[in-house]
């Protein structure tokens, strides 16, 4: 066997070892990383007022279910402020109906978008000015919170001295492409932001999920509010970076059991939405996106190609040591990889495992979205999001 073939087999053994490590890593995550329980936390002592702030642009189809889940919270002291951000549908009318039902609901109408702001960030800033609470919960209109979500989150934050708490939400998948793509695309992002690093105050890695951010009023003021991240399309990560830089206690927890979200309904929306997320989550940097593409090809696509090709080679060349070794490694890689992904879906993120039969398709499409994001940066393609056009930017930092 030549030196090159030996090096190739050594690389394949390394890929297998990485997937074996991920099994042990998942076991560690389930035991050590914060996972919010859906059970009631017990008696709340002197609960502070929480202002729940919901940005809503053309959310007529979502806002009612969101408000139902917010008003149904077991947490006793909260107000709900909906920022209607230049909606062209019946979002405001739906909110007004809930205002008639509950004095806890208020509507803030945003009529324009100032230069230098993104739409969501500006809407959140406007609503925060009207908030009376000691804590702010920023939650997207497509989120659905389990009954004890807020009580659990506030209890965790107060018991652990957390000033900035963000939850990873479960994917509410109602169509084929959502079930195939959403859990995997979310997992691909979290792999780049391991919570052990994000939650370690000694490390600079910062991340937050803007679908759910719970923050004390004091922390929000210390960060300078949303005005300090006014032009960011992923204001959540930008705020998390500022929070870590200022020494605030930041924690991202697994909230799959207490929060569900339906981000995108169609294949095209999934593609466009995650392209935007990958571009901005990875800092609008060509090298970061290129590295992500390379890692996906190496650790996820390589086993899916190696296994069938090497098995065929071993069948056509019986007794050939290279093909036999390659086939053994390839089959082992796929078996260990799929077992790890199955465990992640079933034990952690609570996704439907039946869609794993389409895992190769999902992986190829996820890779395609990453490549599209990379090309968008290289060609400086403008981004159109929620009816607003934003320039493509590659930061000089």
pLDDT value of residue 380: 78
Average pLDDT over residues 123-146: 97
* Residue 356 CB partners (closer than 8 Å, separation 6+): 338, 341, 342, 345
pLDDT value of residue 394: 45
| pLDDT tens per residue across span 236-256 | 999 999 999 999 999 999 999
* Residue 14 CB partners (closer than 8 Å, separation 6+): none
pLDDT value of residue 42: 83
| pLDDT tens per residue across span 351-366 | 999 999 999 999 999 9
Average pLDDT over residues 60-78: 96
Average pLDDT over residues 215-220: 97
Give dist(CA 371, CA 374) in Å, integer: 5
Q: Are 395 and 283 in contact (CB under 8 A)?
A: yes
Average pLDDT over residues 293-302: 96
Q: How confident is the model at residue 388 (pLDDT cuts 50, 70, 90)?
A: low
pLDDT value of residue 384: 66
- Give the lowest-confidence range in 25-29, 181-185, 232-236, 291-295: 232-236
What tokens does 208 get? 């937050």
* Residue 317 CB partners (closer than 8 Å, separation 6+): 323
Q: Tell me how far apart the terminal alpha carbons of the chain are, to the nearest angstrom.
A: 46
Average pLDDT over residues 227-237: 92
Kindly report, as residue ranges, where domains of CATH 3.90.550.10 are found in the chain: 34-179+190-279
Among 86, 35, 94, smallest CA distance to 57 is for: 86
Q: Are 57 and 85 in contact (CB under 8 A)?
A: yes
- Angle ∠(165,261,231) on CA atoms, nearest 5: 60
> Of the CATH numbers 3.40.50.460, 1.50.10.100, 3.90.550.10, 3.30.930.10, which one belongs to the domain with range 34-179+190-279?
3.90.550.10
Write down the pTM of the prediction.
Answer: 0.92
Residue 395: is its pLDDT beyond 60?
A: no
């Amino acid at each position: 066997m030549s030196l090159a073939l030996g090096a190739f087999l050594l690389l394949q053994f390394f890929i297998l070892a990485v997937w074996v490590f991920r099994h042990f890593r998942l076991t560690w995550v389930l035991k050590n990383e914060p996972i919010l329980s859906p059970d009631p936390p017990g008696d709340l002592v002197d609960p502070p007022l929480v202002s729940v702030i919901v940005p809503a642009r053309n959310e007529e189809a979502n806002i009612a279910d969101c408000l139902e889940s917010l008003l149904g919270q077991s947490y006793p002291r909260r107000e709900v402020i909906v920022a209607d951000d230049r909606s062209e549908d019946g979002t405001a009318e739906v909110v007004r109906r809930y205002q008639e039902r509950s004095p806890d609901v208020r509507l803030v109408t945003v009529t324009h978008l100032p230069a230098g702001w993104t739409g969501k960030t500006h809407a959140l800033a406007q609503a925060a000015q009207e908030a009376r609470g000691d804590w702010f919960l920023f939650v997207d209109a497509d989120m659905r919170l389990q009954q004890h979500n807020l009580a659990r989150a506030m209890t965790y934050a107060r018991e652990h001295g957390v000033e900035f708490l963000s939850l990873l939400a479960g994917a509410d998948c109602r169509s084929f492409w959502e079930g195939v793509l959403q859990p995997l695309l979310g997992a691909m992002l979290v792999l780049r932001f391991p919570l052990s690093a994000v939650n370690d105050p000694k490390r600079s890695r910062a991340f937050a999920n803007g679908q759910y951010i719970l923050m004390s009023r004091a922390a929000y003021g210390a960060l300078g509010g949303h005005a300090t991240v006014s032009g960011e399309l992923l204001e959540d990560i930008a705020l998390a970076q500022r929070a870590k830089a200022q020494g605030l206690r930041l924690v991202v927890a697994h909230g799959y059991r207490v929060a569900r979200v339906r981000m995108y309904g169609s294949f095209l929306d999934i593609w466009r939405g995650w392209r935007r997320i990958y571009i901005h989550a990875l800092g609008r940097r060509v090298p970061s996106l290129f590295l992500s593409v390379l890692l996906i090809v190496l650790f996820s696509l390589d086993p899916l190609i190696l296994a069938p090709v090497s098995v065929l080679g071993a069948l056509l060349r019986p007794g050939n040591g290279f093909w036999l070794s390659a086939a053994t490694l390839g089959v082992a890689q796929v078996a260990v990889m799929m077992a790890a992904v199955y465990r992640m879906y079933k034990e952690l993120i609570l996704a439907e495992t039946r869609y794993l039969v389409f895992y190769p398709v999902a992986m190829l499409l996820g890779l395609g979205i990453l490549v599209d994001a990379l090309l968008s940066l290289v060609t400086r393609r403008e981004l159109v999001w929620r009816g607003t056009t934003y320039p493509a930017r590659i930061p000089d930092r």
